[in-house]
Amino acid sequence: MPELPEMQALAERLHELLAGARFERVEPLSFSALKTVSPAPELLPGKRLLSTGRRGKFLRLDVGDDLAVLIHLSQGGRIDLQPRSVTSKPKGGVVRFRFDRDPAVLVKEFGTERKAGWWMLGPGDDGPLAKLGPDPFAPEFAELVRTGSDTGRIHALLRDQRTVAGIGRGYSDDILHRAGLSPYRSLASLDEAERERLLHAVHSVLTEALEAERRRVGGLPPKLGDHFTVHGKYGTPCPVCGSDLRRVSYQSHEVTYCPRCQTGGKILADRRLSRLIR
């Protein structure tokens, strides 16, 4: 679930620790996690890590000779920072990068899903970044929120990386709660004031989360999202109005919302609930 705030703060920490270090070894630990065949990762040893940054939910390592490495953690991917001396093959390992100084960077999966991946990019190649929409803080996204006529649900729109890059299931719940908008509303249905509220909520929720993430040290542990307001907090009181938070369940995720703050008291149909009751 790492989203923009987690990945941005991680990129800043790694830059602080490792910019200028030389790659010593790259250890692919999972057969299917490397998504590119060329350029080969064997080109990395000896080259310098120039900088680390973020685009969408991707971590980007810029390397000498115009090479770059992209890392996407998906839902269960995490990062451990380790002493270079550790050589044991870790459980759930995806890839480990060793440099001429500490720390080594281990990408791993903490769950059973195997979805975290990495890419090697040559000069001028944007790989999967080419398909990403604007950053949530870019003027293009503000323009979209103010004028867009998309008729799909806003919750899905915010999570669509081609529309806006960096927001996932967690922060989209918190953003819509802050904006006081139902997850089932569409952009087309919003009036001007609601659009401004949505844009402000996107910016303020992500900014506050980034500030919290910047206090983290080290890699990214299994348990993230301790600063969510409503996401994953179904059944607990809404921090704004005290009503019980409700959820809508999908196969792979759930949407949490407050009926009083977001849907005018209406309870949205939950397929899991209706299946259980029948």
Site residues, Zn ion (CB under 5 A): 238, 240-241, 258, 260-261
- Give the residue with the Cβ less far from Zn ion, 114 or 227: 227
The tokens describing 231, both together, are 């996401």
Separation between Cα atoms, residue 53 and residue 66, nearest integer Å:
15
Q: In the complex with Zn ion, which residue's Cβ is closer, 136 or 183?
A: 183
Check whether the bond before 134 is cis (ω within 30° of 0). Answer: no
Task: Please answer whether residues 148 and 138 qualify as being in contact, where contact means their C-beta atoms are separated by less than 8 angstroms.
Answer: no
Quick one: 19 or 240, whose CB is closer to Zn ion? Answer: 240
* Partner residues linked to 63 by β-bridges: 49, 67
3-state class (DSSP) for residue 221: coil
Nearer Cβ to Zn ion (44/258): 258
Q: In the complex, what is the shortest distance from the CB of residue 275 to Zn ion, in angstroms, rounded to a whole number?
A: 26
How far is the C-alpha of 86 from the C-alpha of 175, rounded, in Å? 40
Nearer to Zn ion, 114 or 260 (CB): 260
Beta carbons within 8 Å of 257's beta carbon, 6+ residues apart: 173, 176, 177, 182, 183, 230, 245, 246, 247, 248, 263, 268
- In the complex, least distance from residue 13 CB atom to Zn ion, rounded to whole angstroms: 34
Whole-number minimum distance, CB 230 to Zn ion, in Å?
8
Per-residue tokens: 148 = 């867009």
CB of 121 to Zn ion, least distance (A): 44
Closer Cβ to Zn ion, 241 or 267, answer by number: 241
HSE-CB for 125 with a 13 A CA cutoff:
16
The minimum distance between CB 233 and Zn ion, in angstroms, equals 11
Give the residue at shortest CB distance from Zn ion.
238
Alpha helices in 3-153 (DSSP H): 4-18, 139-147
User: Could you tell me the smallest distance in angstroms from the CB atom of residue 238 to Zn ion?
Assistant: 3
